[in-house]
Copies of this chain bind each other. A is one copy, B any other.
Amino acid sequence: MTHVLQPEPLTVEAFAPFGDVVAGASALPGGGNVQAINAGTAKRYDDLAQVDTTDQGGRTMVSLCDAVVRVGPIEIDLVERHPLGSQLFMPLSGTTLLVVVAAGDPPFTAANLRAFISTDGSGVNYRKGTWHMPLCPLGGEARFLVVDRDGPGDNCEEFHFPDGERPLVEIRL
Q: Which residues of A contact B (CB under 8 A)?
A: 22-26, 29, 32, 37-39, 41-49, 51, 53, 59-68, 70, 88, 90-94, 121, 125, 134-135, 141, 143, 145-147, 150
Select A63's contact among B25, B46, B125, beta carbons within 8 Å. Answer: B46
A144 to chain B, nearest CB (A): 9
Whether B150 lies near A38 (C-beta < 8 A) is no
Query: What is the bound-complex CA distance between A160 and B158, given in angstroms?
Result: 54
Most chain-B Cβ atoms within 10 A of its Cβ — which of A32, A37, A59, A60? A60
Query: What is the bound-complex CA distance between A26 and B140, given in angstroms?
Result: 12
Whether A92 lies near B121 (C-beta < 8 A) is yes
A130 to chain B, nearest CB (A): 16
Most chain-B Cβ atoms within 10 A of its Cβ — which of A25, A38, A94? A25
9 closest residue pairs by CB, A with B: A25-B93, A42-B67, A38-B134, A49-B62, A25-B92, A51-B60, A45-B64, A41-B68, A46-B63
- Contacts A25-B141, A147-B147 given; indicate if A61 touches B44 (C-beta within 8 A): no
Query: Which residues of chain B come closer than 8 Å to A47, judged between CB atoms?
Result: 61-63, 150
Query: Which residues of chain B come closer than 8 Å to A150, judged between CB atoms?
Result: 46-47
Query: What is the bound-complex CA distance between A37 and B80, given in angstroms?
Result: 13
Query: Which residues of chain B come closer than 8 Å to A147, judged between CB atoms?
Result: 51, 60, 62, 147
A145 to chain B, nearest CB (A): 5
Whether A135 lies near B92 (C-beta < 8 A) is no
Query: Which residues of chain B come closer than 8 Å to A68, judged between CB atoms?
Result: 41-42
Whether A44 lies near B60 (C-beta < 8 A) is no
